[in-house]
Amino acid sequence: MTKPKILVSRRWPAAVEARLADRFDVALNTGDAALTPAEFRQAFKDFDAVLPTVTDKIGSDALELTNPRTKLLANYGVGYTHIDMPSANAHGMVVTNTPDVLSECTADLAMTLMLMAARRAGEGEREIRSDAWTGWRPTHLIGSKVSGKTLGIVGFGRIGQAMARRAHHGFGMKIIVHNRSRIAADVLARYGAIQADDLDDLLPRCDFVSLHCPGGAENRHLINARRLDLMRSGAFLINTARGEVINECDLVQALAFETIGGAALDVFNNEPDIARCLRDSDRLVMLPHLGSATTETREAMGMRVLSNLEAYFDGQSPPDRVN
């Protein structure tokens, strides 16, 4: 039988690429550069399935064609707001994602960012590398304690709960959550958490706020100047969700005028183009979208895509279908 022809939009872990090649007729993007809308349009004409990543921009322009051969977009990542879903639906394309497998490592990284921001670790590391450190002194790079403080978690799905478990049971933090729907009392009890009435109620009560909510139009600039003004003057904002959830210009203003204590970001509005005003802020810790960047998780994500592909081409409903 002829193997289904698939395109992998970026390089994946070698173990996953090998498994894909065993089962399918695979084309790899060996240059590992982001594809243009025109290149995606051509791919949709040539391949039975396309395997994009969360940073591939598959807008209406990329899907502006008739009778595409592609009927499956098997996304490598949880979020899929980078795909124009109405256009994909109009073409009858099935879209899948990779839930569950990256929750633990993303929560690990959120904790990393929180600790780095609170303890000014980025500033200290830069100071040493620039040969500017003159030695220990009592007032040098004074940061904020994390243990026992109050953490607000925005979005209490798998990653938010993994973050709560680390913060509450590991650091003795008090947990307040905001979620679109009510959280069951027994789930909150696992983390000693309480649920705020709304986001505006949560923000003034927290020393740290960690974002784990979906992206997309509904949450675009969820954190803006008005909401930053609600935060405590010494509070820290952590984002491992999606870049568009924060109005970055408003965040820079809040940092410059010290209306919040600091921030830490793993995701950005226009990745990989980071605004100069962000890069110039010493009160901001930044990492290059590393939330799921462990060997175990990146391989597990790929194997999840493989499961969706196999189910689809075996005539079954993919387990992680989102449309």
Catalytic residue chosen out of the listed positions 120, 166, 227, 242: 242
Q: Which residues are registered as beta bridge partners of 76?
A: 53
Rounded to whole angstroms, the Cα distance separating 319 from 307 reads 8
221 is catalytic: no
Residue whose pair of structure tokens reads 């109009």 in the numeric block? 90
Catalytic residue chosen out of the listed positions 17, 271, 299, 310: 271
296 is catalytic: no
Residue whose pair of structure tokens reads 């408003």 in the numeric block? 250
Catalytic residue chosen out of the listed positions 178, 289, 298, 304: 289
Element (H, E) at 50: strand 49-51
242 is catalytic: yes
Rounded to whole angstroms, the Cα distance separating 151 from 116 reads 15
E strands in the chain: 5-8, 25-28, 49-51, 72-74, 94-96, 150-154, 174-178, 193-195, 208-211, 236-239, 262-265, 284-286
28 burial (CB, 10 Å; 0-12 / 13-18 / 19+) is middle
> What are the residue numbers of the active site?
242, 271, 289
